[in-house]
Chain A
Amino acid sequence: MRLTEDQIAFIRKSAFDLAGAGTRVRLFGSRLDDNAKGGDVDVMLELPTPIENPALLSATLSARISRALHGRKVDVLLSAPNLMRLPIHDVAFRDGQLL
């Protein structure tokens, strides 16, 4: 996993601040590949309850993490009981690692 401990701590804290402490945070995509370089950060939040403002939540969290990572592109995918489950979610659940 190509994230420092400080970066992981920041991502977790930001996710809990914006989405609640019951949220699980999972990293998936190219940042799991220790041999790759650079690349976007793909994060999935697993929310136990329905989310009212999903677009705002993922846009805000992505902005906050991106700022902390000096402008690196960050994609935030949400999994919640009221949201559709798409093939990208299957990939994230299958390959992703909990932070």
Chain B
Amino acid sequence: MTGESGLVPRLQFLARVVRKECTHLALTDQRLFGVETTGSKFTLAHAKQLELDHDLAERVEAFVGRFSRLQDTLGDKLLPLLLSALGEKHSAMIDSLDRAERLGLLTSAEQWMTMRNLRNQMIHEYVEDPLILTNALQTGHAFVPSLLSAGTKMLAEIDKRGWT
């Protein structure tokens, strides 16, 4: 840990945010993809229904928003701070992701960037082909465990170092 003041309180704050964001993503993931809503699979029929089914559209919106926020908090805020606390030199995002992969904080840098790219394809007002929207949401759902696991690992690292 460097002697930089304010690093620990900032890490603690972000750790609290990440805990909440993980809980909220897991909840909305269940509410959108759970058996009672979409029969556990979001299909092309659901995508085509989005203009008419406002409840479903709001669940999609919540899922995409929470998925995106958690990934941004982890990748753009917590990870750079954590790497800095671990004594790693400040570097470009792509190098930070490679470092995080080597430290076992996330599954792979390429997968992280894939998740980032996928988000643009989950916006139903913007993606005109419902087949692409459907596949983007299904894939986003499949990536949720990986995103949550990155959160858990970064929090565990903070705990392990006694910065909580």
Chain A interface residues (CB < 8 Å from chain B) = 52-56, 58-60, 62-64, 66-67, 70-71, 78, 82-84, 86
Contact = CB atoms under 8 A, between A and B. Distances in A.
14 contacts: A55-B118, A55-B139, A56-B136, A58-B117, A59-B117, A59-B139, A60-B110, A60-B117, A63-B116, A67-B109, A71-B93, A82-B131, A84-B128, A84-B131
A52 to B, nearest CB: 8
Interface residues of B, number: 22
A55 B122 CA distance: 9
B26 interface: no
Contacts of B115: 59
B94 A83 contact: no
A83 B131 contact: yes
A41 B128 CA distance: 21
B128 A70 contact: no
Given A83-B129, A84-B128, A60 B121 contact: no
Contacts of B135: 52-56
Contacts, number: 62
Interface of B: 92-94, 109-111, 113-118, 121-122, 128-129, 131-133, 135-136, 139
A56 B148 CA distance: 19
The majority secondary structure among interface residues of chain B is helix
A56 B139 contact: yes
B133 to A, nearest CB: 8
Given A59-B117, A59-B139, 5 more contacts: A62-B117, A63-B111, A83-B129, A84-B131, A86-B129
Contact of A66 (B113, B122, B128): B113
Contacts of A82: 131
A60 B118 CA distance: 8
A98 B40 CA distance: 40
A15 B116 CA distance: 19
B141 to A, nearest CB: 12
